[in-house]
Amino acid sequence: MSSYLEAVHDRVIVFDGAMGTCIQSKGLNADDFGGPEFEGCNELLVVTRPDVIAEIHASYFEVGCDVVETDTFGANAVPLAEYGIADRAHELNLAAARLAKEVAAEFATPDRPRWVAGSIGPGTKFPSMGGIRFAELRDIYEVQARGLLEGGVDLFIIETQFDLLGLKAAVIGCRRAMRVLGREIPLQVQVTIETVGTMLPGTEIGAALAAIDPLRVDVVGLNCATGPAEMHEHLRYLSQHSRMPIAVLPNAGLPSVVDGAMHYDLTPEELADFHERFVTELGVQVIGGCCGTTPEHLRAVVERCATLTPASRSPQHEPGATSIYSFVPFHQDASFLIIGERTNANGSKKFREAMLEGDWDTCVAMARDQIKEGAHVLDVCVDYVGRDGTTDMDELARRLCTASTAPLVLDSTEPDVMEAGLQWLGGRAILNSANLEDGEGEGSRLDRVFKLAREYGAAVICLLIDEQGQARDVEWKMRVAHRIHDLAVNRYGLEPSDLIFDALTFPLSTGDDDLRRDGIATIEAIRRIKEELPGVFTTLGVSNVSFGLKPAARHVLNSVFLHECIAAGLDSAIVHAGRITPLNKIPDEQREVCLDLIWDRRRDGYDPLAKLLEIFADVQATTIEREDRSGWPVERRLSQRIIDGDRDGLEADLDEAMASGLTPLAIINDILLEGMKVVGDLFGSGEMQLPFVLQSAETMKAAVAY
Ligand code: THG
């Protein structure tokens, strides 16, 4: 283990305070930056005024800080390009790291080491919003990380991250740099929670933790945006749930503007008060300061906190998936994890046709409808013969990464298609699926999917298929399950809770004698997987069981089969959420016949399958209607459209309003703007996230244009 991580486990570690606001207080001029065109580019100072930066580092070591951060927060090609010096990223990181290491060497003694953290900021582009592509950003971070590593930094601090996708690009970029240079150092990752209580796109702390945990970084934490008071609740969450040590580097309070300049009010003693509580009550192990904190702040923090003993924690790690908004645990207390099946080019004609036409709005609307119907997670499959799946996945995932509040299951036979999706998802996705169809060698499907899962921090659905095909009986299913589990854990370093086993079922609807007992084998396998492989989860594509039957019979058989599987321990299922019927709503006769079919209770003169077909001979499927708004006054329909961001049919409603005598201006001012006001309130109170506000704004724009 690195000496830094050993120290983190032994005692409280104190980082330095602000770099940026300290530089500002030095009153530097254009010449100090190397010319007026470079003024404000703090990262250049490591070559133009290394004395100033060295002095700041020294001022923090002098007051007793253990770690200083390099002056490289914005030293990657994206922010540097704003000064026309993107090509100097490597040079500046190398110089900054060497400079900080020289200062650290002056202070370090054999029993008092001092460390240098290579600072990696978020840059100025937002990959989740399409401002820059994941792969480009990852490669840019790799260059920065190589410079820092070559300059000798002791750890990376990926900080002030407001977009989980950018954070992931930074982590993967650092890992690639470490692999190339053959030197492993710890990764400390810190996100920024705004005063509204989420990260900038609306990311909750639980979502951030669930995305970061499977990246297997060494320390997780918070910095910037607010003072320590506003961080308390988020730190409490980390304290209760994070398996990693926790870092907190707050600003010196919320900034205010005094005489046209940012001003931070928190005094050194106040900062020390907060840190003392964070350490002794929440078990925080790494502390320091961000904007507005000075050596005087850190002196007080060191004096008060350096010798404290952090409270001991017993964090409850919860396995799950996450969108960039909120966390969904795999284990659902009162339900099963509902995976929506409709966003599938093979499983829905409507979805397939929309995809083939490039009608992505319809694809996205189908995703959102499933969430309204109760899906917790969405299965997304674009596989279609003759299409380039990576392009289709790219188009779809770039939209769903912000438009879907639910996390995604990337369903494809092609690992490249999965990766095209992963490159848009800042949260934690599930890969569907790995199996042993083509063995376990290098480059096999299982090998590629498990490597993607490790690199991007995804979970994996594992199908019980081996070189001989889909496992039919229980013993075969269990052999495959154990084999995949052992490979995942021992060879790929995945954890049991990263794995979701799919025991697979053949249709019970064919009448084929060979398949009659397949439902039983599936249920028994679910029970044994939960028993023999502790920590793993289970899932099932339930609708497969009823292929070929008419819709009404399918809904009932699917619902009854799902119920039997859940009773055996099934954690999740891929279903049409709106079509699952609770058992008590299914008439007894239908339920009994489905149970007889599932458990293969044929008797002389009684075949449950024949009986099922007979019962449903003239039953039509009931469809669940969308809320009927036709009775609403047109004013109410229009303002609701703005709130929902629903453009489908907008023009007809506008025509109707104008025909009723309302002027366009009155419609805008009295109806549409009322809707926007509601949107504003929902956003302000945190109930609506930014991308949905944008949808509403787009609808508003379309209405005004019309
Ligand atoms: N296990 C795992 N993944 C899977 C499956 C599985 N992914 C795909 C599939 N099986 C689960 N998804 C579906 C999606 C739709 C249907 C069945 C399974 C379905 N669709 C209707 C039909 O085809 O009749 C609706 C058609 C329409 O609306 O056009 O039944 O087992 N891991």
pTM (predicted TM-score): 0.89
Q: Which residues of 107-123 are buried (b: 16+ CB within 10 A; e: fewer)?
A: beeeeebbbbbbbbbbb
* Helix, coil or strand: residue 415: helix
The residues facing 606 across adjacent strands are: 603
| Residue whose entry in the numeric block shows the structure tokens 């007979």 | 614
pLDDT tens-place string over residues 388-408: 999 999 999 999 999 999 999
Mean pLDDT to the nearest integer, 529-553: 95
Torsion of CA 54, 59, 62, 67, to 10 degrees: -70
What distance in angstroms lies between residue 387's CA and the mean position of ligand 1's atoms? 19
Instruction: Indicate whether residue 543 lines ligand 1 (CB < 6 A).
Output: yes
Q: Report d(CA 347, CA 342) in Å as an integer.
A: 6
What distance in angstroms lies between residue 547's CA and the mean position of ligand 1's atoms? 9
Instruction: Indicate whether residue 432 lines ligand 1 (CB < 6 A).
Output: yes
Dihedral of alpha carbons 128, 134, 136, 142, sign: positive
Q: Which amino acid is at 611?
A: K
Q: Report d(CA 672, CA 100) in Å as an integer.
A: 56
What distance in angstroms lies between residue 569's CA and the mean position of ligand 1's atoms? 21
SS3 content of the chain, % helix, strand, coil (to 5): 50, 15, 35
Give the H/E segment covering residue 395: helix 389-403
Measured from the Cα of 542, ligand 1's closest atom is 31
pLDDT tens-place string over residues 112-125: 999 999 999 999 99
Name the closest-CA residue to atom 22, ligand 1: 347
Q: Which residue out of 339, 341, 346, 435 has the highest number of ligand 1 atoms within 8 Å of its CB and is therefore the one to mutate?
A: 341
76 C-beta neighbours (distance < 10 Å), count: 30
Alpha helices in 568-663 (DSSP H): 588-598, 608-615, 634-644, 650-659
Measured from the Cα of 551, ligand 1's closest atom is 24
What pLDDT sits at residue 262?
80
What pLDDT sits at residue 623?
46
Instruction: Indicate whether residue 574 lines ligand 1 (CB < 6 A).
Output: yes
Give the H/E segment covering residue 226: none
Instruction: Indicate whether residue 564 lines ligand 1 (CB < 6 A).
Output: no
Name the closest-CA residue to atom 10, ligand 1: 541
Q: Which two tokens stand for residue 93?
A: 């990181």
What pLDDT sits at residue 511?
84
Measured from the Cα of 432, ligand 1's closest atom is 32
Distances from the Cα of 395 to the Cαs of 128, 260, 398, in angstroms?
13, 44, 6
Q: Which amino acid is at 686?
A: G
Q: Which amino acid is at 321?
A: A
- The rounded Cα 420 to chain-centroid distance in angstroms is 15
Measured from the Cα of 539, ligand 1's closest atom is 32
pLDDT tens-place string over residues 564-601: 999 999 999 999 988 888 777 789 999 999 999 999 99
Instruction: Indicate whether residue 433 lines ligand 1 (CB < 6 A).
Output: yes
What distance in angstroms lies between residue 692's CA and the mean position of ligand 1's atoms? 28
Q: Report d(CA 94, CA 353) in Å as an integer.
A: 52
Q: Report d(CA 537, CA 530) in Å as an integer.
A: 7
Q: What are phi and psi of 271, to 5 degrees?
A: -60, -40
Instruction: Indicate whether residue 544 lines ligand 1 (CB < 6 A).
Output: yes
The residues facing 203 across adjacent strands are: none
pLDDT tens-place string over residues 223-258: 999 999 999 999 999 999 999 999 999 999 998 888
Instruction: Indicate whether residue 541 lines ligand 1 (CB < 6 A).
Output: yes
CA proximity to 307, closest of 16, 10, 5, 11: 11
What distance in angstroms lies between residue 533's CA and the mean position of ligand 1's atoms? 27
pLDDT tens-place string over residues 459-475: 999 999 999 999 999 99
Measured from the Cα of 502, ligand 1's closest atom is 32
Distances from the Cα of 637 to the Cαs of 633, 652, 667, 676, in angstroms?
6, 11, 12, 13
Q: 444: pLDDT confidence band, cut at 50, 70 and 90?
A: very high
Query: 333-347, 397-411, 431-445, 672-686: which has the minimum mean pLDDT?
Result: 672-686
- Integer Rg of the chain from CA: 29
What pLDDT sits at residue 476?
97
Distances from the Cα of 531 to the Cαs of 116, 177, 498, 599, in angstroms?
47, 41, 17, 21
What pLDDT sits at residue 660?
92
Instruction: Indicate whether residue 43 lines ligand 1 (CB < 6 A).
Output: no
Name the closest-CA residue to atom 16, ligand 1: 347
What distance in angstroms lies between residue 268's CA and the mean position of ligand 1's atoms? 60
pLDDT tens-place string over residues 634-644: 999 999 999 88
What distance in angstroms lies between residue 478's CA and the mean position of ligand 1's atoms? 24
What distance in angstroms lies between residue 363's CA and the mean position of ligand 1's atoms? 16
Measured from the Cα of 547, ligand 1's closest atom is 30
Name the closest-CA residue to atom 11, ligand 1: 541
- Percent of residues, the chain, with pLDDT higher than 90: 87
8 Å CB contact between 19 and 45: no
What distance in angstroms lies between residue 546's CA and the mean position of ligand 1's atoms? 10
